[in-house]
Structure 1
């Protein structure tokens, strides 16, 4: 059991060794906290100032022990196409931790020093990174313990600019429930954006902490906001290290669910009962959201096309094949699949001339070495074309 539980940490250790050369150490001269603060910046593989692509930004507090773990997970998720590549910033805390992240025990508010650290993150760290690197509008902030409590204060911003709040093993104040109510979370629903709020409970935490987390999670579970996604997690471990190593990938799985290819769960829950036109709209909006939120123009994954193909072909006599093909060409013009579905639409309508035209265009986009090219060409031969 000990060996099995150590495998994720061993993998992340070797991952850290692999990405260490991509980390930039930078000093920020601050008007809020100590005169100078050190941050670490991870730029993803392939990052290029000359390219149009942008990257989501992750701000990791408690960088001394969270930064490498978060980067290791981010690299793995991106490699498996489960999340976009991210620009990740690690913020090292003051030697006296309470100076940066704690709260007034009498009312739960940030102390004067805590508020300065909050403004440092908001007005200096994020501003510096967005000014100098190619970031998308999607921002995550991650913290553990009292840093997780500080993260919740970003919910108070009149115009929300943080998309994801990942609170690991949170040490909330006794007043967290009342504070969250003052943030008026239903107002987030008016924002044309998507938000995620992750917390985990765990038996390794004190009874008092577990109670506070449990009460907050219960209150948040009653929210029904279409764009504010609450992720209430419980990690069954008696080790804070294990809780951290489990919480980060579990949070990333939910936060970047929209980025991943359509899973069976997503298909069964959101897609299978749609009409062909609604299924087309669902897929188109999924990729438009990916591009807007994460700065990643993926075109469109073929497996997602195939995921809804049956709906398009079998419902409404295949009348939406034309719109399906046009949508694919719009999002993925280099793919022959858009031409294929348009060609199939015309073939089923007995317009052989137009069907051949689109089949030939699609075939012309294919590499002759592609194992599917012969099957594609058979459509042309079948209709008498050459």
Structure 2
């Protein structure tokens, strides 16, 4: 286990060396806080080159110690194709009076300073970043301790606009259950969007804190909404610091799960028992949602095409091959596979001239150096003599 953690840290440090020069320090005047606050803004590699691409936005509280860890993980996840590249903004907290997030622990209520900081994030920080940088609609808030408590209050917004709420090692009051009830979480069901709430417990916490978070997680576990994903996590560790280092990648894995290629778990849970039509629709909707949420025009990963291919070929005598091909053409027009499957559909129906037409189009989209090019050309040779 120690070796695994060390390797992860080495990867993160390696990627950190690569992103350090891309962090912009920006001081903004806040009318709400009546002072100047520093923002650290990380722009992902390639941001300057592609003027049309948008990126999901992550806002990290406690930037003095959480920003680097989150950016390092975000770069690593993007490099492994497990998450989109992100714009990450770190907010420097009030270091002297700790008034930004230190709430009334007795009542659990936010102080006037807490409310001002909340409004600063909502009305000034997000507005500034969205006005000056190319962000997609997907917004994540990340915080730890009392900052996680402030983040949870964004759940009460009448019109939800935050997509993921990552509450690491959260500090709550004894009244946290009542406060979450007041947030009216069922309202999220009405939204045509996707949401994530991550809350971790840890064996390093005091027994009282473990019990408080455990009761909240127990209550949250009873909530069932298709578009509101609750991630109740428990980290086995003897240190709250190591809990933070583990929580970030665990949260990212779940929050950006839809972005990743179809895993065996996802296939077994959501795909394998579908009809061809439903499997095609599932794949199409997955990539449409990736495009909408994250601003990432991926086309369709070939491994995901092949994951659904077996269902389309084996069920209903392959009658849905044409629909499968058209879906690929629509979302991934440069791929030869869309035309290939349409050609295969026509060949199965013994309409050889139409099949040959689509096989030729398919081959024409391929790089001659592609090791699969010869196999695609054999389709043309096979039907060309008919």
TM-score w.r.t. length of structure 2: 0.98
Secondary structure of 1:144 counterpart: strand
Q: Secondary structure at the match of 1:99?
A: coil
Q: CA deviation at 1:16?
A: 1.7
Q: Which residue of 2 aligns with 1:226?
A: 226
Cα distance in 2 between the residues matched to 1:22 and 1:313? 47
| Aligned mates of 1:50, 1:139 — CA distance in 2 | 21
Using a 3 Å threshold, how does the CA distance of structure 1 residues 241 and 127 change in structure 2: closer, same or farther? Answer: same
Gaps of 5+ in 1: none
What is the CA–CA distance in structure 2 between the aligned matches of 1:237 and 1:224, rounded to whole Å?
29
Greater CA drift, 28-37 or 116-125: 28-37
Q: What is the alpha-carbon distance in structure 2 between the residues aligned to residue 97 and residue 49 of structure 1?
A: 42
- How do 1:68-87 residues align onto structure 2 when only pairs under 5 Å count? 68-87=68-87
Instruction: Measure how far apart 1:247 and its partner are.
Output: 0.3
Partner of 1:59: 59
Say if 2:106 and 2:173, in contact at 8 Å, map to a contact too: no
Root mean square deviation, CA, Å = 1.3
User: SS of 2:26's equivalent?
Assistant: strand
Q: For residue 202 of structure 1, what is the aligned residue in structure 2?
A: 202
Residues 214, 313 of structure 1: CA spacing in aligned structure 2 closer, same or farther, 3 A cutoff?
same
What is the correspondence of 1:1-386 to structure 2 with a 5 Å cutoff?
Answer: 5-48=5-48, 51-96=51-96, 98-384=98-384
User: How far apart, in 2, do the equivalents of 1:6 and 1:369 lie?
Assistant: 40
Unaligned runs of 5+ in 2: none
Question: 1:273 and 1:101, CA in 2 relative to 1: closer, same or farther beyond 3 A?
Answer: same
> In structure 2, do the counterparts of structure 1 residues 385 and 121 end up closer, same or farther at CA, with 3 Å as the change threshold?
farther
Question: 2: CA distance between counterparts of 1:61 and 1:329?
Answer: 42
What does the per-residue CA deviation read over 1:79-136, in whole Å, with 9 as the maximum and x for residues that have no partner? 0100000000001111136301121233211101111111111111110000000000
| In 2: Cα distance, 1:50 partner to 1:298 partner | 14
3-state SS of paired residue (1:169): strand
For residue 175 of structure 1, report the CA deviation from its aligned partner: 1.2
Aligned residues: 386
8 Å Cα contact 2:142-2:166 kept in structure 1 = yes
- In 2, Cα distance between equivalents of 1:6 and 1:377: 48
Offset at residue 51 of structure 1 (A): 2.3
Matched-pair contact (CA < 8 Å) for 1:33–1:117:
yes
The Cα shift of 1:33 comes to 1.8
CA–CA separation in structure 1 for the residues paired with 2:80 and 2:337: 24
Q: Flag the 1:67–1:301 CA change in 2: closer, same or farther, 3 A.
A: same
CA contact (8 A) 1:58 1:139 kept: yes
In the aligned structure 1, how far is the partner of 2:4 from the partner of 2:293? 36
C-alpha change, 1:313 and 1:97, in structure 2 (3 Å) is farther
Tell me, in whole angstroms, the C-alpha distance in 1 between the residues paired with 2:366 and 2:360.
Answer: 10
8 Å contact 2:60–2:91 — kept in the other structure? yes
- Cα 1:139–1:97 change in 2 (3 A) is farther
Q: Secondary structure at the match of 2:250?
A: helix
Displacement after TM superposition at 1:6 (Å): 3.3
Q: CA deviation at 1:211?
A: 1.1
Greater mean deviation of Cα atoms: 93-102 or 274-283: 93-102
Shift of residue 49 of structure 1? 7.3
SS, match of residue 59 in structure 1: strand
Deviating more after overlay: 1-10 vs 139-148: 1-10
Counterparts of 2:265 and 2:290, CA distance in 1: 19
Tell whether the 8 Å contact from 2:11 to 2:76 is kept in structure 1 after alignment.
Answer: no
Shift of 1:17: 1.9
Instruction: Show structure 1 runs of 4+ deviating over 3 A.
Output: 1-7
**What whole-Å deviation, never above 9, does each CA across 1:261-318 have from its counterpart, x for those lacking one?**
0000000000000000000000000000000000111111111000010000010010
